[in-house]
Amino acid sequence: MIPVIALVGRPNVGKSTLFNRLTKTRDALVANYPGLTRDRKYGEGEMFGRRYMLIDTGGITGEEEGIDSAMAAQSMLAVDEADAVLFIVDSRDGLTPVDRHLATYLREKGRLVYLVANKIDGVNSDVAIAEFYELGFQEVFPTTATHGRGVRHLMETVLEPFPELEEVVQADIQRRIKIAVVGRPNVGKSTLVNRMLGEDRVIVFDLPGTTRDSIYIDYERDGKSYTLIDTAGIRRRKNVSHTVEKFSIVKTLQAIDDANVVVLLIDAHEGLVDQDMHLMGTAIESGRALVVAINKWDGLDVDAKARIKTELQRRLRFVEFADIHFISALHGTGVGHLYRSIEKAYASATDKLGTNRLTRILQDAVIEHQPPLVRGRRIKLRYAHAGGQNPPLIVIHGNQTADVPSHYTRYLEKVFRKALDLQGTPIKIEFRSGENPFAGKKNQLTTRQLAKKRRLMKHVKKKK
């Protein structure tokens, strides 16, 4: 197992910036705003030929109440999971009572703890870190996470106790399905994630906007590997004012693009609203497989359930390929059935499609319903082949394909979906026209034709 390293400290001391530096990504949200990271966030990094797992945590103030207390609990769980802890303090703020409290707590945990004095740029590092020796750690590591100053020396020391890992190449790497759980704020996304995981892995609090970042969680179920992505709730653009929430929207859209399957969670008590339709459209435009889950279903009466089912049937005709589940994330009702639809959607989205089979389906479709005439000529569609997966991309070759009308494209999509039994995933069709080798060369003669013409001209001259 690769070592697990947790980043712990007060809010706004630079934990997420260091996380991004050590993972060489921009996966953690970074802004000059305290309390930005609320859940544990995992990422992998490599330095000096050694791999490691990082956990970014929410800042701890020692005065947490409500949601902040849940955030602090998540940070403490990260310490329990870690092999080593980077205890980060702000050299510009100096030593604070919260730093003292955290130092005592970490020593009691018995973990390898490295004291990191961040933000030393522009100051005398020896002076800036002097007071932090009061905390009783053997060494203080001065760093500037934004520029990378001191980071390599820090990690060289941190990784030294752990043995180098040999790279194991597996001939058959088990697939891992990425599942993004998306929806408007407060529809129960984090509750559903915890229910699917079987543990309180992400913060659940009765307050809209609890999850500000996209949290990636690897796990196994029934011998199969998954990655769950808990995303921030997206509201209407006119209701988005805070910069941090705008960051969260970007991360959610990235999570949709990164996922194999999107589970769209809808609040049964509020019904299907325009923002749900927008999220659904975003997932389909991204080509992601889709499963729809109607949450809080157990709290409705019979009439309300009938009304919502009628509305879904009317408004979701454009996503007839997606399975719809009626669940209670809080109590677990129907949650287990989501996996069946997720597996089915993933298999359809990543199925390998043969050229012979696709061409045969295309030919049968053309015989059943021919393409229309364009400027007196019939559009000809000759053969088809696979152009990509997740979503399935079918490339069709022929003549005048630029003139294929949208209604005929939709007809072909339905034919391919039914013939291939593709469920839970959109299909994309791309048309390509064959090039005419004589296009643009009507007035040009071949070498043989020119030679023949010269011989004829010489013969005519001799006769004269």
Residue 166 located in a structural domain: no
CA distance 423 to 342: 10
Rounded Cα gap, residues 66 and 203, in angstroms: 11
Nearest-angstrom CA–CA distance, 94 and 51: 32
Name the residue with tokens 């003669």: 445
pLDDT at 131: 92
**pLDDT digit string, tens, across residues 141-164:** 999 999 999 999 999 999 988 877
- Residue ranges of alpha helices (H) inside 317-424 are 338-350, 355-368, 406-420
| Residues 243 and 363 both lie in one domain | no
Domain boundary among 348, 382, 414: 348
381 SS3 class: strand
Is the pLDDT confidence value at 402 over 80? Answer: yes
| 180 and 323 housed in the same domain | yes
77 against 37, higher pLDDT: 77
Q: Could you report how far apart the first and last alpha carbons of the chain are, in Å?
A: 96
| Residues 12, 126 within the same domain | yes
324 by DSSP, 3-state: which? strand
Q: How many angstroms from the chain centroid is the CA of residue 452?
A: 66
387 token code pair: 């152009």
Q: What is the CA radius of gyration of the chain?
A: 30
Question: Would 281 be classed as within a structural domain?
Answer: yes
> Within this chain, do residues 117 and 226 fall inside the same structural domain, yes or no?
no
Contacts 24+ apart (CB under 8 A), 105-113: 105/76, 106/8, 106/79, 107/136, 109/79, 109/80, 109/85, 111/79, 111/82, 111/83, 111/84, 111/85, 112/83, 112/84, 112/85, 112/158, 112/161, 113/84, 113/85, 113/87, 113/137
Chain centroid, CA 443 distance in Å: 55
Residue scoring higher pLDDT (40 or 439) = 40
Question: What does the pLDDT average to over 4-33?
Answer: 79
pLDDT at 123: 78
Domain membership of residue 170 (yes or no) is no
Q: How much of the chain, in percent, has pLDDT values that exceed 70? A: 77
Contact criterion met (CB below 8 Å) for 328 and 296? yes
Same domain, 275 and 301: yes
**What letter would DSSP give residue 253?**
H
User: Are 196 and 252 in the same domain?
Assistant: yes
Same-domain status, 344 and 372: no
Domain boundary, last residue among 348, 377, 412: 348
Considering the domain architecture, whether residues 147 and 290 belong to the same structural domain is answered as no
Q: Does residue 411 sit in the same domain as residue 344?
A: no
DSSP string, 210-232: ---SPEEEEEEETTEEEEEEE--
What's the pLDDT score for residue 155? 93
Lowest-pLDDT range of 351-355, 375-379, 438-442:
438-442
Q: What is the DSSP code string of 101-125?
A: HHHHHHHHHT-EEEEEEE--TTS-H
8 Å CB contact between 253 and 233 = no
Domain contains 171: no
More confident residue, 407 or 444: 407
CA distance linking residue 271 with residue 8, whole number of Å: 41
User: Pick from 385, 390, 295, 315: which is nearest to 345 by CA?
Assistant: 390
* pLDDT tens column, 184-230: 888 888 889 889 988 775 554 444 444 445 678 888 888 888 888 88
The pLDDT confidence band at residue 66, using thresholds 50, 70 and 90, is very low
Q: Average pLDDT of the chain?
A: 80
In a domain, 233, yes or no: yes
Query: Is the pLDDT confidence value at 436 over 50?
Result: no
Which of the residue ranges 53-62, 72-81, 142-151 would you say has the lowest mean pLDDT?
72-81
Structural contact between residues 253 and 282, judged by C-beta atoms closer than 8 angstroms? yes
Distance CA 7, CA 161 (A): 18
Q: Which of 316, 332, 348 is the last residue of a domain?
A: 348
pLDDT at 40 over 70: no
The dihedral through the CA atoms of 148, 149, 154, 155 has a sign that is positive
Q: Is residue 169 included in any domain, yes or no?
A: no
Predicted structure pTM score: 0.58
The whole-number pLDDT of residue 79 equals: 81
Q: How far apart are CA 235 and CA 277, in angstroms?
A: 12
The pLDDT of residue 186: 83
Comparing CA positions, the residue from 194, 256, 196, 185 lying closest to residue 220 is: 196
3 state DSSP class of 181: strand
Within a domain: 165: no
Residue 164 forms part of a structural domain: no
The separation between CA 179 and the C-alpha centre of its own chain, rounded to angstroms, equals 8
Res 408: pLDDT: 94
pLDDT value for 62: 55
CATH number of the domain residue 379 falls in: 3.30.300.20
Do 142 and 87 share a domain, yes or no? yes
Examine the domain organization and report whether 37 and 126 are in the same domain: yes
CATH number for the domain that contains residue 260? 3.40.50.300
Q: Sorting pLDDT into bands at 50, 70 and 90, what band is 438?
A: very low
Nearest to 143 by CA among 153, 130, 133: 153
Q: How many domains does the chain contain in total?
A: 3
**In 10 A of CB 20, how many CB atoms?**
21
In a shared domain, residues 440 and 309: no
Domain span including residue 333: 176-348
343-365 burial, b at 16+ Cβ within 10 Å, e below that, comes to ebbbbbbbeebeeeebbebbeeb
